[in-house]
Chains A and B, each alone.
Chain A
Amino acid sequence: MNNVMIDTGNYIAAKAAVMTQPDVVAAYPITPQTTLVEGIAKYHETGEFKGEYICVESEHSAMAACIGASATGVRTFTGTSSHGLLLMHEMLHWAALARLPVIMCNINRVVGPGWNIWADENDSISQRDTGWIQFYCSSNQEIFDTIIQSFKLGEHEKVSLPVMINYNAFILSHTSMPVHIPTQKEINDFLPKRKPLWNLDINNPITFGNIILPPEYEKVRKEMQESQENAKKLIKEISKEWKNKFGRYHGDLLELYECEDAEYILLSMGAIGAESKVAINNLRKKGLKIGLARVRTFRPFPKEEILKISKNSDLIVIDRNISIGMEGALFSEIKASLYGKSDSKVYGFISGLGGKDVTFQDIEKMCEKVINGKANDLEWYGLEGV
């Protein structure tokens, strides 16, 4: 029995967050995230959200409030975007090092100056090394499903890390799509109550965040790394469980599409990943053996899976971000995954920065440029034509 809700990515995310029954939501509004927290505020007003809603004075405080709440052992959620995410930066490290599974939506938006509110992944890419698990979604249904799954993943005793669910500004955040909503009972059956690894408790007083010496600190980092490795296995298990229970599957670390006999595989994230399917269908019609591997998790990075798909295919990467002074972030990570183990060629495109549209026609042109042997190692698509 499925209830279908037609709404924007943000309102769908609000619905998902409220259905996980968080105890505390602390958030500060920022375009294009505003309607997400507005949605949660509305559910608070109607009584559907029974937790505490803390209106804070900044995103740094929003994350700090979530950390404080999470440290008492309860379930927490927040959302932000772009400059808000960057203002949280210190607290992002803090949540991860404290092993607190704060779950957050980040709506990928351009970083200024150059005041611009459209889609661009440089905000979350720049938070790569904070220890957060990062998902990138390509549809409103995937946003809903990933939020619920993220609580199960992040709160799992073998992970206990915060999770960031990313989706593109406006392309998803403000676009309505039909989304299947399970019943509250189905969500409750899927998502157990949080059992914290540690928590602040007046009956068992501890100090948290005290001084630790170098050998102990190193162990904290190593256990975080191991937990991200555990997350790789758990993401697969949780996606499968979701598929069995609800019949929907968006891939696990990667979503593979038409990859089996592919000589070329396109890799991209977020909304470009969804648009890429149309491009793949059209290129297939022209007889080109090309597939798509949409990267769903940037952290943990699916390096083993990418090595596997590179065995018989050259790779084409589209980045809606750039690590200035180097190249697209996804492009770098993919090449690092292959180093010394694969002879596949990897081609990188920078495309869609500043929210510029990346249509299926654009994606087809990029792929054809590679297949026709005309692409350089790193191309800026659309600046000077392809």
Chain B
Amino acid sequence: MKKYNVKTTISYPMKGATGKTGNWRVFRPILNKEKCVKCLRCWIFCPEATVIRKDDDSIDIDYDYCKGCGICANVCKIKAITMKREGIEK
């Protein structure tokens, strides 16, 4: 990666370049793996690429960077993803 020797606001492409944005989250997406049919709509629609697609097309959510926008839950046809408020148990 080419680096520039100048003091201004340049951010290089790397994981977490602007910090762990997951701590902005108010609502946490919870995936029910038993309901999931691996259609990958959440993976396609996630604007932050924090839905991780695994080799068998099952998915994980990267909570370090997921901002909790809720798009994945919204596009899930079978409601395998639900949004829960952070910090409140049950």
Q: Contact residues of A with B, CB < 8 Å?
A: 97-99, 160, 197-198, 201, 204-212, 219-220, 222-223
Neighbouring B residues of A197 by C-beta, 8 Å: 4-6
- CB–CB B1/A204 < 8 A: yes
- CB–CB A198/B1 < 8 A: no
**Quick one: which of B1, B7, B13 contacts A223, CB cutoff 8 A?**
B7
**Quick one: which of B1, B5, B6, B17 contacts A207, CB cutoff 8 A?**
B17
A212 in contact with B12 given A204-B2, A207-B17 (CB within 8 Å):
no
- CB–CB B8/A97 < 8 A: yes
Q: Is B9 an interface residue (CB 8 A)?
A: yes
* Chain B count of residues within 8 A CB distance of the other chain: 14
Min Cβ gap A201→B in Å is 8
Neighbouring A residues of B12 by C-beta, 8 Å: 206-207
- CB–CB A211/B6 < 8 A: no
Q: In the docked arrangement, what's the CA distance between A97 and B1, Å?
A: 23
Min Cβ gap A52→B in Å is 25
- CB–CB A219/B6 < 8 A: no
- CB–CB A98/B8 < 8 A: yes
Known: A204-B2, A205-B13. 8 other contacts (CB 8 A): A97-B9, A197-B5, A197-B6, A206-B4, A206-B10, A207-B12, A220-B9, A223-B6
Q: Is B11 an interface residue (CB 8 A)?
A: yes
A198 in contact with B18 given A206-B11, A207-B13, A208-B10 (CB within 8 Å):
no
| Interfacial residues of chain B within 1-36, with CB under 8 A of chain A in the complex | 1-2, 4-13, 17-18
- Chain B: which residue is nearest A204 at the CB level? B2
* 9 A-B pairs (CB sep. < 8 Å): A197-B5, A197-B6, A201-B2, A207-B12, A208-B9, A210-B17, A219-B7, A223-B6, A223-B7
- Chain B: which residue is nearest A97 at the CB level? B8
**Quick one: which of B10, B13, B17 contacts A198, CB cutoff 8 A?**
B10
- CB–CB A206/B13 < 8 A: yes
Q: In the docked arrangement, what's the CA distance between A98 and B7, Å?
A: 9
Neighbouring B residues of A160 by C-beta, 8 Å: 6
